[in-house]
C-alpha cells in the first residue's frame, strides 16, 4: 500500500454509473450507500457474502459475491480501496476500458462538494468521534450528511444523506486519505505513530497530520491537548491562519472536561467552553469517550449549536457497533466486543472493562475476572508493537492471544501471535493462553470463563465472530437460564 496524493474530483452526480470493488468493507459500504441514495446507478462486489453486502442490496445497490470483469456492466467510474490488489480482475478490466478509477477517498470527496466538510482524524477515536458528531447534529435537528467507519448501534448503518449543510466524515490517515477531503473543520483526536509501513517514520506520520490541519480550505482546527502528539501539533499551529479550539482535561483547554465520575454504565463530567459550563452525561463509558464527546461538542459549537443543544444531544448517543459493544450477558458472564487494535486503544478499552468488572463485582458480590481475547492485526503492526501489545495485556487478569490477522498483507516468517504472548510473559502477565486458530477461541474462552467474569474480544479483524459463538456456548450451560 502507498500514500495517496489528492486529486481533482467532479461532483458525485457526474460520475455514474459507479461500481465499488470490495463494497462490503466498513468504509466502502457507507460511501456506496450514499451514491445509491442520490439516485446514481450503483453496483458493488466483494470476495465473500456479508451482512453489509446484503444491506447494500436492500438500499438499492446491485451486489455481487466474488469478482468478475463482467460485473462492471456500464460503469463509468470504479471505486477501490487501498486493499485492492493490482491484479484484481475487475480493476484490470476497468483499466483496459479506460474507466475513471477512484480511491474511496476521492469518491467520498465528490459527495462532499458544496457542503461544510467536517473531517475527523486521529490515530484513535475517530470512528466514535465521527459518530458522536453525526448523532449530535441529527438529534439537534441539523440533518447532517455523514460517513462513519462503524455502524451506529441504533440504526445499524454508517452513512446518511441529509438536507443539512454539514458533511461529517471519518478521515483515515493510514494512506493519507484525509488530505483528499474538502475540509472546513479539521478534528484531530490524537497523533501517535501507526501505519509505518506507509509513512515509514513517526516524524513523517506526524507531518501528515500537520498537512491535514493546514490544507487551504481548513478554517477551524479542533485538537486534543491531553495527547502529547496532538498537543505538539497544536503548538506548531500557532501563527497559522486557523481558528484553533483545544479540548481535553488540561488547564489550557478551550473546551475543558473536569469533575469526571462514573454514571451507571456511562460517564459524566463538567464541560466548559468560554462562559458556558454544565454537566454532560454520556451513555458510553470511559474518559476516552469524554474526550471524543468534547471534540464533537466543539464541532457543534462551530456549526452554531448552543451549549445546551450540544450537551443534550450528545447525551443521547448510544454508541457504535464494535466499540465496547455488549454481545451477551449469559450464565453470569458478560461478553463485549471492541475494535481496539493499537496498544493505546486497547489500554482505553481494558481500562473501561476493568471498571465495568469492578462495578459488576460490587453489584453481585462475586470476584469476577477480566479476560482479554486479542487478535493482532497486520504483520507490520505486530512487528512494530508486539512489546507494547504484550505490556497492555497485563491489564487483564487473563489474556487469550490469537494468531495475526494479516488482512491485506502477505505473511511474514516468524511473525505470529506468539510474539505478543512472549511479550506479555516478559511484562509479567498473570495468565496467558495462545490459541492460534480463531474458531478455537469460543471453546477456549468458555472453558476459562466463570460466573462474574467479563470477557472482551479485541481487534479490527474477524475476531468479531468470537463473541456470538461464545454466547451460543454460554447458553448451553446449566445455569444459563438464571
Q: Which grid coordinates are listed for 322?
A: 464494535
| Among 58, 64, 60, 59, CA closest to 23 | 64
Residue 125 assigned to a binding site: yes
Residue 127 assigned to a binding site: yes
Burial class (CB in 10 A: 0-12, 13-18, 19+), 412: middle
Contact, 417 vs 389, CB < 8 A?
no
Of the CA atoms within 13 Å of residue 292, those in its CB half-sphere come to 36
Residue found under cell 443539512: 164
Contact, 53 vs 63, CB < 8 A?
yes
What HEC string does 383-394 produce?
HHHHHHHHHHHH
Report, in this order, helix, strand and coil percent for the chain, each rounded to 5.
40, 25, 40
Residue 123 assigned to a binding site: yes
Residue 126 assigned to a binding site: yes
Q: Which grid coordinates are listed for 142?
A: 441539523
Q: Which grid coordinates are listed for 330?
A: 449469559
- What does the alpha-carbon distance between residue 424 and residue 239 come to, in Å, rounded to a whole number? 44
Residue 44 assigned to a binding site: no
Residue found under cell 487501498: 82
Cβ atoms < 10 Å from Cβ of 318: 14
Binding residues for ATP: 122-128
Which residues are documented as binding site? Answer: 122-128
Amino acid at each position: 500500500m502507498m500514500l495517496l496524493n489528492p486529486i481533482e474530483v467532479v461532483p458525485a452526480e457526474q460520475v455514474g454509473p459507479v461500481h465499488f470493488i470490495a463494497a462490503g468493507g466498513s468504509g466502502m459500504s457507507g460511501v456506496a450507500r450514499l451514491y445509491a441514495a442520490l439516485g446514481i446507478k450503483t453496483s458493488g462486489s466483494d470476495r465473500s457474502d456479508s451482512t453489509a453486502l446484503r444491506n447494500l442490496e436492500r438500499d438499492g445497490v446491485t451486489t455481487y459475491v466474488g469478482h468478475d470483469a463482467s460485473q462492471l456492466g456500464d460503469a463509468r467510474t470504479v471505486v477501490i480501496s487501498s486493499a485492492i490488489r493490482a491484479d484484481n480482475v475487475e480493476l484490470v478490466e476497468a483499466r483496459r476500458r479506460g474507466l475513471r478509477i477512484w480511491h474511496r477517498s476521492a469518491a467520498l470527496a465528490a459527495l462532499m462538494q458544496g457542503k461544510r466538510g467536517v473531517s475527523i482524524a486521529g490515530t484513535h477515536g475517530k470512528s466514535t468521534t465521527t459518530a458522536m458528531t453525526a448523532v449530535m447534529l441529527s438529534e439537534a435537528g441539523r440533518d447532517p450528511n455523514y460517513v462513519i467507519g462503524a455502524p451506529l448501534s441504533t440504526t445499524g448503518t454508517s452513512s446518511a444523506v441529509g438536507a443539512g449543510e454539514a458533511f461529517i466524515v471519518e478521515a483515515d490517515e493510514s494512506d493519507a486519505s484525509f488530505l483528499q477531503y474538502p475540509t472546513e473543520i479539521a478534528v484531530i483526536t490524537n497523533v501517535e505513530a501507526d501505519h509505518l509501513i506507509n509513512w515509514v517514520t513517526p516524524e513523517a506520520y506526524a507531518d501528515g497530520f500537520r498537512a491535514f490541519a493546514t490544507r487551504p480550505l481548513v478554517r477551524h482546527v479542533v485538537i486534543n491537548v491531553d495527547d502529547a502528539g496532538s498537543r505538539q501539533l497544536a503548538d506548531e499551529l500557532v501563527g497559522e491562519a486557523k481558528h484553533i479550539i483545544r479540548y481535553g482535561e488540561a488547564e489550557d483547554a478551550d473546551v475543558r472536561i473536569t469533575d469526571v465520575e462514573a454514571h451507571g454504565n456511562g460517564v459524566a463530567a463538567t464541560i466548559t467552553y468560554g462562559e458556558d459550563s454544565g454537566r454532560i452525561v454520556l451513555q458510553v463509558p470511559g474518559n476516552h469517550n469524554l474526550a471524543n464527546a468534547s471534540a464533537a461538542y466543539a464541532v457543534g459549537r462551530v456549526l452554531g449549536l448552543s451549549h445546551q443543544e450540544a450537551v443534550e444531544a450528545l447525551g443521547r448517543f448510544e454508541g457504535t457497533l464494535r466499540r465496547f459493544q455488549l454481545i451477551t450477558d449469559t450464565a453470569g458472564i458478560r461478553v463485549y466486543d471492541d475494535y481496539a487494535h493499537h496498544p493505546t486503544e486497547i489500554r482505553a478499552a481494558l481500562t473501561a472493562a476493568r471498571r465495568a468488572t469492578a462495578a459488576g463485582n460490587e453489584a453481585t458480590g462475586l470476584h469476577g475476572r477480566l479476560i482479554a481475547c486479542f487478535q493482532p492485526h497486520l504483520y507490520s503492526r505486530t512487528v512494530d508493537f508486539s512489546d507494547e501489545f504484550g505490556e497492555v495485556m497485563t491489564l487483564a487478569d487473563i489474556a487469550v492471544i490469537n494468531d495475526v490477522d494479516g488482512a491485506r498483507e502477505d505473511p511474514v516468517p516468524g511473525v505470529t501471535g506468539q510474539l505478543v504472548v512472549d511479550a506479555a510473559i516478559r511484562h509479567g502477565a498473570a495468565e496467558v493462553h495462545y490459541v492460534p486458530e480463531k474458531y478455537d477461541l469460543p471453546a477456549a474462552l468458555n472453558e476459562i470463563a466463570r460466573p462474574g467474569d467479563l470477557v472482551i474480544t479485541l481487534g479490527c479483524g474477524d475476531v468479531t465472530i468470537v463473541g456470538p459463538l461464545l454466547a451460543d456456548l454460554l447458553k448451553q450451560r446449566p445455569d444459563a437460564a438464571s
